[in-house]
Chains A and B, each alone.
Chain A
Amino acid sequence: MESPVRKILVYIDGSEESVTAAQYAVVLAKTLRAELTAIYVINTRALDDLVKSRIFLTSEQEEYAHDIEKDAERYLNHVKNLAAQKGVTLRPVKKRGTPFLEIKSEIEAWGVDLFVIGEISKIRSRRDEFFNETERAMRNVRCSVLMVKDEEHVWKIYDEFA
């Protein structure tokens, strides 16, 4: 029987939780012989909002956009290396826009079976359901979603995985 999971997408947002999710996704991809993609979305919507609300100056918007571009490259390279260490090829994807919309679009365009995310906040507020990009993505995508928890356990699995 063919594996029910052939294409995995993991969301990287620069948080430690998202890197842990990538490690778990690497192990899953190799075990299931699935293709693996990591996506980082440069949140240009948030940058625009900050200028509109006058928290940011235009020069600051440009500076932060540049910084986030570098962060995206760095984190995507990092998870690509994590995958390579386990003999897994990871396709890095960098996009710009509203994260949950870009994730949804990538999932539909690439036919993703499983979307992997890092653990989200334990302390909840109603606001998070609307504004947390990971949560918005989780609620809006069509495919199944796996939230990776217990980072120490995941690190152990990753380290011991051949």
Chain B
Amino acid sequence: MALIDLISENVVKVPMEAATKRAAIEELVAVLVQAGKVKDKDRILEAVLKRENLGSTGLEKGIAVPHAKAEEVPSLTLAIGISFTGVDFGAIDGKPSKVFFLILAAPDQSGPHIEALAEIARMTRSETFCRLLTSAVTPKEVVQLFKEE
């Protein structure tokens, strides 16, 4: 499954309102609940926070990739959030995170989960792409960027 198959306007939040790491993760999980992609918000939130407690998924260039696998996730799913102000996500470069990719998968979908994460890793190596993402102001713009990338 290509990453673009997981991206639609209803799983993109621009701008995010969260000011803290926990609130950012909650906001993204809520996006997936509202889009009908997942149901059990609390269990999923717990799984993502448990993973974050092992080490932050805040990368360089303002990117964060929180992720988890959970029984409550019916199929591989992704939410994207853009924060205009940035959130302290404990990133490795110490800078605030502005672009968030929340990826969730069922435990028996490790293969597609890995490939989706790897695709994000490759894409976010491009400084131009990251800059364009952080300057997107609507979900439509974000979806379009992925189609054109």
Asked if A67 and B121 make an inter-chain contact with CB atoms under 8 angstroms apart, the answer reads no
Asked if B121 and A55 make an inter-chain contact with CB atoms under 8 angstroms apart, the answer reads: yes
Which B residues are in CB contact (< 8 Å) with A159? none
Closest chain-A Cβ to B136's Cβ sits at a distance in Å of 16
Within 8 A of A (CB), among B97-119: 107-115, 117-119
Set of chain B residues within 8 Å of A156, measured between Cβ atoms: none
* Smallest CB gap from A132: residue in B: B2
| Chain A residues in 8 Å Cβ range of B65 | 55
The number of chain B residues with a CB under 8 A from chain A is 36
Instruction: Confirm or deny: B33 has a beta carbon within 8 angstroms of a beta carbon on chain A.
Output: no
Given known pairs A49-B122, A55-B59, A55-B121, the reply for A123 and B4 (CB within 8 Å) is yes
Binds A, one of B14-22, B79-87, B141-149: B141-149
A106 within 8 A of B: no
**Is B123 an interface residue, CB under 8 A from the partner?**
yes
Task: Give min CB distance, A126 to chain B, whole Å.
Answer: 7
Binding site for B on A (CB under 8 A): 13-15, 42-43, 45-47, 49-50, 53-57, 59-60, 64, 67-68, 71-72, 74, 120-121, 123-128, 131-133
List of 5 A-B pairs having minimum Cβ-Cβ separation, nearest first: A46-B118, A67-B110, A53-B121, A121-B2, A14-B111
